[in-house]
Every structure is written in structure tokens, then in C-alpha cells.
Amino acid sequence: MRLFDPWPVFFKREWKRNWPFLVGFAVTGAVITKFSLGLTEEDAKKSKFVQAHKR
């Protein structure tokens, strides 16, 4: 006798509920990463935020 596996049912139900959050999280992460990698040392020297947090 084969046992019932609940994981596919669980993931299907949760994907329907959570896909907007997961897609938004991925898009936001991609945008932040793109802008972060585009910064140069010169930008950091001009930044008030970086200067305030420099140790």
C-alpha cells in the first residue's frame, strides 16, 4: 500500500497564497543588487550615509 505524500499538496496551496510576496521579494532584491553593484568608490566618498557609518 502506497502512503499519501502531503508535500506536493502543501506546496501547491502555499504557492497560490504566497507567489506575490515571493515575486516581489525577488524583484526588490534584484533592483537593490543592481544598484549596489553599480556604486563606485567615488560614489561612496560623496555619500553622507557611508561617511556617517564609516568606522
Q: Which backbone phi and psi does 47 adopt, to 5 degrees?
A: -75, 125
Enter the pTM of the model. Answer: 0.59
CA 46 to chain centre: 27
| Alpha-carbon span 38 to 29, nearest angstrom | 14
Q: What percent of the chain has pLDDT over 90?
A: 60
Note whether residue 3 is domain-resident: no
For residue 17, the enclosing domain spans: 9-53
> Whole-number mean pLDDT of the chain?
90
Note whether residue 1 is domain-resident: no
Total structural domains within the chain: 1
Cβ neighbours around 27 below 10 Å, total:
10
Note whether residue 2 is domain-resident: no
pLDDT digits (tens, 9 = 90+) for 12-36: 999 999 999 999 999 999 999 999 8
